[in-house]
Chains A and B, each alone.
Chain A
Amino acid sequence: MQDQLSALLAKAAAELPAIKNRPDFESTKARYVGPNGELTALMKQMGAVPKEQRPAAGKLINEAKGQLQVHLDAALARIGDAEIAAQLGPAVDPTLASPDFGPGTQHPLTLVREEMCRILRKVGFTVADGPEVETEYYCFDALNTPSDHPARDAKDTFYFPTTARFGNVSKKVAEERYLLRTHTSSVQIRTMLKGEPPIRIVSPGRVYRRDTTDATHSANFHQLECLYVDKNVTVRDLKALLDYIFASLLGKETKTRFRPHYFGYTEPSFEVDLTASHLPKVKKPWIEIGGCGMVDPTVFEAVGYDPAVWSGYAFGMGLERLAMLLYGIDDIRYFYQNDLRFLKQFA
């Protein structure tokens, strides 16, 4: 029996390592330990072994069985490893670039706009919106811009034919013309007419000027305006807001200054400069960034607020200009060409 067992083990040791897959393994295993297997057959002979020899024979068989199991386990483990290896395929080269497109990018104007909105939201401003097609009333009359003001001239403002109808842009008076808004201040008027003070809004949006397109001018561009209406609003509050905005945007060392100016819808009015020495491509100590002022009483009267009770300020700036300053972009047309090599730089 010992010889038989030895022969059996030798055969198993020789053939098991060569087995490639699970079905072959199972059939081979069955040839040894299956119901009709060789080892099973030897075990069945135990009944014929004389009683006094049985312990020794049993021991031999158990040993052989144990050794066979080692071979089987090893073979199974090897097959399992091979299966996983086959499933995995060759190792990746982690340095290869992903063939997937992406990542996507937000447009730099969106990035700047959203950053400004976040900064303003922290101090109580929510974002308002309004139509881009406007009427003379909302764009000019209500903002204390008299009918003969040069800004209203067809040389500077886009108008629609008198026959044009815009179903969802309301007119104040039937005779007024539709136009493309020249500033987002029309949103201030619509917001004030719709609601009651106090009001704190920021209105970013697209505006239109009849202008030659060049490195710094574009037929449409984007503005961002703030309007704050409450009791006892002061020039000092306005200055505090501007200081806050630009310190948040550009760092605490950034300073702003006001220069007196003239706008029809604010009194007093200012132009805002900020220290720019740390901005890319700016060589001047101060750079103009926007206009602001205290809301003119005539504007409050136009929307039915009592200027003796309510006061407020407004601030506006160009988003392209801000983005150009922040990123050091020197041509406004890049924003509208959307060359991916441009878009991918800011995300």
Chain B
Amino acid sequence: MKISLNWTRDYVKLDASVEEISRAITFLGFEVESVHVTGAPKLDHVVVGEILTRGKHPNADKLSVCTVDVGPAGGVKTIVCGAPNCDAGNRVLVALPGAVLPGDFQIKQSKIRGQSSDGMMCSADELGMEGDHSGLLLLPDRPALGLSIAQALPGGDTVFDVEITPNRPDCQSHLGLARELAAWFKLPLIYPQEKFRGDVSGAPVRTDLLHGVCVDDAEDCPLYSAFVIAGVKIGPSPAWLQERLKAVGLRPVNNVVDVGNYVLLETGQPLHAFDAKKLGGGEIVVRRAVDGEKITTLDGKERVLSDRMLVIADADKPVVIAGIMGGDNSGVSSDTTDLVLECAVFNRQSIRWTSRKLGLSSDSSYRYERGVDAHAALEAAYRAIDLILETAGGQVAGPRFLVGGTAPWQREIVVTHDFITERLGFDIPAADMRAAFESLELTVTREEPTTHPARGPAWTVSIPSWRDDLDRPIDLVEEVLRLYGTEKIPAAVVKSPGLLAEDDPIVVFNRRVTEYLVGHDFHECVNYTLRPAKEVATWVSAVAAQELALANPFVEDQSHLRPTLIAGLIEVLKLNQSRGVAVSRLAETGRIFVDSNGQNLECAAVGFIIAEPVAERSWRKREPADFYSAKHHVTALAAAAGVDLARQPLTADTGANGWQDGQSAAAGELTQQGWFARFGLLNLALAKSLGVEGKVYAGMFAILPEKLTSAVTRRRFSEFSLFPSALRDLAIVVDTAVAATQVQKALLKSARAAVGNSFAVENVGVFDVYQGAGLPEGKKSLAFSLVFRSAERTLTDDEVNAVFQKIQDDLAKMPDYQIRK
């Protein structure tokens, strides 16, 4: 809210500088967003002068040459001037050499068309002030010659734009903030003097203007009061009132409307004035609107209302959207003579809901939403009546209407000096604490010693009605600290006790996989979690695109939770490719969301892509990545989560969205194992349709957070033989569709059986895969290397040969496997 310093000074006699006041507001707990100074600027070398003579410039028709007396500031000067009103006898402001005017305009001794000039006489515009810029700013008050601009002109105003926190609706007003500043600067708070106190007993009764007020919905309108003021004369408000409103950015309208705004900004209580003659039936009904009911608000827009919205209506029609904005059918206009002044309290939620629904807010609705002090509402009405009578004349008429109201306010908090000190961690003297309360009008009604003699007193603090935010002893700790000054919290050594726990397993997992990937030349990326529906459907399924949708997305392309990290990485790939940046290895860790049997599961995930570096030319070619590169990395990532992928069944992909059939694979299942992995070549057609060039290999590992544990399984050392190994090679021809692991397992089983207990089969591994000439169509050859070793001795050829023969005999019995000779 905008706070005028001049205005604030009505309530607290501040003599601190703007900087000090700004600092005070800041450390009282309100952010000063900007400080705006109006009126004459404080400029050096700009002084009052009187034009003594005016003559024509010898070389220019439109210029004059004047002699100007600036008195003690330098005597008589010769100044060339182009203004039409530089007539002798006028007192004006003269910028002497050395002055710097707004816009960094430096005034120097100069020659203008051959005529020397000792400075410049100024227009309002040239001084950075509002006003007529067609001529010099004349000083009709004739201030003394040589006075500086600051002394010669009234000071203008300083306006602070202050952000008021939602817990302090009382500070949405000049009086409220003045109270805070009075407390900070230890100055008294001066309340406006009220003449009218609500008594209409002697006043004429004008039921012809208003004869009834009826509140249908007391819950949404706990208090409604209406006063009749007859015989007013609408006109412009006095200059002081206009100045105040203009200073805080409001446009003066007329005396009655301006008073309403003034009192709102002074007290925080919204008021509304009707033209009494426009109230149909001379009555006011506070009711819910009828669905579809319409009203044209003061801003000229027609609003369609619903039955959750509260309106102020007359006998026929709604005249105000309660607490938000008046209609154009009942407001005060130049020919208004009789007023009805409304002073009401409305339910915060109701106002907020209606304001949001209609997309309509006002100074009034803003304050109702945050809460007004129901106990002070009528005071604001009295204040407004005083000001209306003062500025628009007229007289208060009866009867007065008051519907609803609140129980008398009373709240007390008992707090001890010790309690506050324990929370703060440093000592503030008891007297200072008590003074802090009192300065905020938190009256201490009792002070008692506490049971322990060495300890400070206990206070019973009476809380005023406008401080509904203060409810508990802890709330008073903040009040004490605010006024003591948070800048004075003493320094201390940070407490650094031992660790109580380990880092969360997800954090450890993310750290491990990131370090692994970065160590393998991947660039870690961070992508948005929210993705477009189409992407989810493309990469996972149409079902996922339903399950993962937000109820209220903000923009269309960020409407769904991401089910994969790969799509985001592809986008990064594309961005870099399109910008001509060489890019290949990208990785990300983060949450993904997987729909599974009608429910969504939040997973910790890590994903990567390896793209062909299409754009980049290098002086030496490197081996390109392939399926097995992706497998290698996924295996390492799974291991970081404690999953040994080598022991898990892998399924080759067929028809998985996003992945290339026959070139990618998957392992694990969320609902079964609690994790899954997917890796291989991304679907080429998809990548191409996304605008990505070249082959992209990718991998992703995801795990339910609850499956990650920090438990460490201690490994045990196992003995290994120091004797040499014996090797035999064996090639087996199988159908191309047969998985290598299947053959390897069969071979291992057979080898173990053949060896028995005499020695060990250390390894059975594929060292060659062949398909093509020399083999029948649909067959492939897998060449295995068998490693035998004994723990006790060097193996002899004979015993190894015997075993090897046994294996071959065994395999010969298996029709699916042919030994390749």
Residues of A within 8 A of B (CB): 96, 99-107, 109-110, 114, 117, 121-124, 126-129, 131-133, 148, 150, 153-155, 158-162, 164-169, 180, 198-201, 206, 208, 210-213, 218-220, 232, 234-237, 239-241, 243-244, 257-262, 267-271, 294, 296-297, 311, 335-341, 343-344, 347
Residue from B27, B424, B550 within 8 A of A236 (CB atoms): B424
CB-CB under 8 A for A297 and B474, given A126-B499, A259-B27, A343-B523: yes
Known: A126-B502, A199-B500, A200-B500. A153 touches B425 (CB 8 A): no
Q: Point out the residues of chain A lying under 8 angstroms from B561, CB to CB.
A: 133
Instruction: Decide yes or no: A161 and B551 within 8 Å by CB, A104-B524, A123-B496, A148-B352 being known contacts.
Output: yes
Tell yes or no: B426 within 8 A of A by CB: yes
**Residue contact B486 to A270, C-beta cutoff 8 Å:** yes
| A165 lies within 8 A of B498 (CB) | no
Given contacts A168-B601, A240-B493, A259-B486, contact A232 B422 (CB under 8 A): yes
- Distance in angstroms between the alpha carbons of A149 and B36 in the assembled complex: 32
Cβ-closest chain A residue relative to B589 = A110
Given A99-B618, A129-B504: A165 and B581 interface contact (C-beta under 8 Å): no
Given contacts A123-B494, A159-B551, A239-B492, contact A206 B530 (CB under 8 A): no
Q: Which 3 residue pairs across A and B have the least CB separation, nearest first?
A: A234-B425, A236-B425, A102-B521
B552 touches A123 (CB 8 A): no
Inter-chain contacts of B558 with A (CB < 8 A): 219
Name the A residues within 8 Å of B705 (CB-CB). Answer: 129, 131, 168
25 pairs, A vs B, C-beta closer than 8 Å: A101-B585, A102-B585, A104-B519, A110-B526, A123-B495, A124-B496, A129-B705, A133-B602, A148-B348, A158-B551, A165-B598, A165-B600, A168-B704, A199-B500, A235-B423, A236-B425, A239-B492, A241-B494, A259-B27, A262-B165, A268-B478, A271-B31, A294-B474, A297-B472, A338-B527
CA–CA, A94 to B757, complex, Å?
56
| B581 A105 Cβ-Cβ under 8 A | no
Nearest residue, chain B, Cβ from A125 = B499
Interface pair A337/B519, CB less than 8 Å apart: no
Once the chains are docked, how many angstroms separate the CA of A338 from the CA of B528? 11
| B486 adjacent to A99 (CB under 8 Å) | no
Given contacts A129-B506, A338-B575, contact A166 B514 (CB under 8 A): no
A109 to chain B: which residues have CB within 8 Å? 526
Contacts of B599 in A (CB 8 A): 165-167
In the assembled complex, how far is the CB of residue A191 from the closest CB belonging to chain B, in whole angstroms?
Answer: 9
Closest Cβ–Cβ distance, residue A318 to chain B (whole Å): 14
- Partner of B602 from A169, A219, A341 at Cβ < 8 Å: A169
Please tell me if the beta carbons of B584 and A101 are within 8 angstroms of each other in the complex.
yes
Contact of B554 among A117, A206, A219, A232 (CB under 8 A): A219
Q: Looking across the interface, which residue of chain B has its beta carbon closest to that of A211?
A: B554
Specify which chain B residues have a CB less than 8 angstroms from the CB of A148 in the assembled complex. Answer: 348-349, 352
Provide the residues of chain A in CB contact with B586, threshold 8 Å: 338
Q: Is the CB of B481 within 8 A of A155?
A: no
State the Cβ distance, A231 to closest chain B Cβ, in Å: 10
How far is it, in angstroms, between the C-alpha of A271 and the C-alpha of B598 when the chains are bound?
43
Q: How far is the CA of A300 from the CA of B602 in the complex (A)?
A: 28
Q: Tell whether, in the assembled complex, residue B706 and residue A168 are in contact, meaning their CB atoms are under 8 Å apart.
A: yes
Q: Are B613 and A168 in contact (CB under 8 A)?
A: no
Residues of B within 8 A of A243 (CB): 491, 494
Number of chain B residues close to chain A: CB under 8 A: 100
- Besides A100-B521, A129-B506, A340-B583, 6 more A-B contacts (Cβ < 8 Å) are A110-B524, A133-B600, A198-B500, A257-B487, A259-B29, A336-B526
For A167, give its contact among B423, B501, B596 (CB under 8 Å): B596
Query: A339-B579, A343-B523 are contacts. A237–B492 as well, Cβ < 8 Å?
Result: yes
Asked whether B547 is an interface residue with its Cβ less than 8 Å from the other chain, the reply is yes
Contact B554 A164 (CB under 8 A): no
Closest residue of B by beta carbon distance from A100: B622
- Chain A residues near B601 (CB-CB < 8 A): 166-168
- Chain B nearest CB from A217 CB (Å) reads 11
Which residue of chain B is the closest to A102 with respect to CB atoms?
A: B521
CB pair A220 B529 closer than 8 Å: yes
B467 at the A interface (CB under 8 A): no
Check if B511 sits within 8 Å of A114, measured CB to CB: yes
Residue from B482, B495, B552, B591 within 8 A of A237 (CB atoms): B495
B572 contacts the other chain (CB 8 A): yes
A247 vs chain B, min Cβ distance (A): 10
B720 at the interface (CB under 8 A from A): no
Question: Are the CB atoms of B474 and A122 closer together than 8 Å?
Answer: no
Residue in contact with A262 in the complex, picked from B168, B348, B506, CB distance below 8 Å: B168
In the complex, whether B517 has a CB less than 8 A from a CB of chain A is yes
Chain A residues within 8 Å of B422, by CB = 232, 234
Interface string of B164-183 (1 = CB under 8 A from A): 01111000000000000000
B522 partner residues in chain A, CB cutoff 8 A: 104
Contact indicator A262/B504 (Cβ below 8 Å): no
Kindly identify which residue among A167, A258, A341 contacts B581, using a CB–CB cutoff of 8 Å.
Answer: A341
Which residues from 752 to 784 on chain B have a C-beta closer than 8 Å to any C-beta of chain A? none
A39 to B: closest C-beta gap in Å: 42
Q: Cβ of A106 and Cβ of B514 under 8 Å apart? A: yes
Q: B352 to chain A: which residues have CB within 8 Å?
A: 148, 150
Which residues on B sit within 8 Å (CB–CB) of A347?
A: 518
Asked if A220 contacts B500 (CB within 8 A), the reply is no
Bound together, the chains give a CA A189 to CA B504 distance in angstroms of 15
**Contact of B591 with A132 in the complex, beta carbons under 8 Å:** yes
Q: Are A261 and B27 in contact (CB under 8 A)?
A: no
Supposing A240-B491, A261-B29 touch, asked if A104 and B517 sit within 8 A by C-beta, the answer is yes
Minimum Cβ distance to chain A for residue B673 (Å): 14
Give the distance in Å from the alpha carbon of A160 to the alpha carbon of B481 in the complex: 41
- How many Å lie between the Cα of A327 and that of B401 in the bound state? 64
Q: Tell me the bound Cα distance from A232 to B424 in angstroms.
A: 10
Q: Mark B535-555, 1 if CB is under 8 A from A, else 0.
A: 000000000000101111111
Task: Give Cα distance in the complex from A201 to B586, angstroms.
Answer: 31
Could you tell me the distance between the alpha carbons of A200 and B356 in the complex, rounded to whole angstroms? 40
With A110-B514, A234-B422 known as contacts, the answer to whether A155 contacts B356 (CB < 8 A) is yes
Question: Smallest CB–CB gap between B668 and chain A, Å?
Answer: 16
B104 at the interface (CB under 8 A from A): no
A196 to chain B, nearest CB (A): 10
User: Do residues A338 and B523 form an inter-chain contact, with CB atoms below 8 A?
Assistant: yes
Chain B residues 151-207 with CB under 8 Å of chain A are: 165-168
Kindly list chain B residues whose C-beta atoms are within 8 Å of the C-beta of A103.
518, 521
Contact B497 A124 (CB under 8 A): yes
Chain B residues numbered 700-726 whose CB sits less than 8 Å from any CB in chain A: 704-706
Q: Which residues of B contact A337 (CB under 8 A)?
A: 572, 575
From A102, A133, A210, A269, B552 is in contact (CB under 8 Å) with A210
User: Is B514 a contact of A259 with CB atoms below 8 Å?
Assistant: no
Taking a contact as CB atoms under 8 Å apart, the answer to whether B495 and A131 are in contact is: no
Contact of B518 among A101, A106, A155, A199 (CB under 8 A): A106
Tell me which residues across on chain B come within 8 A of A101, comparing CB atoms. 521, 584-585, 613
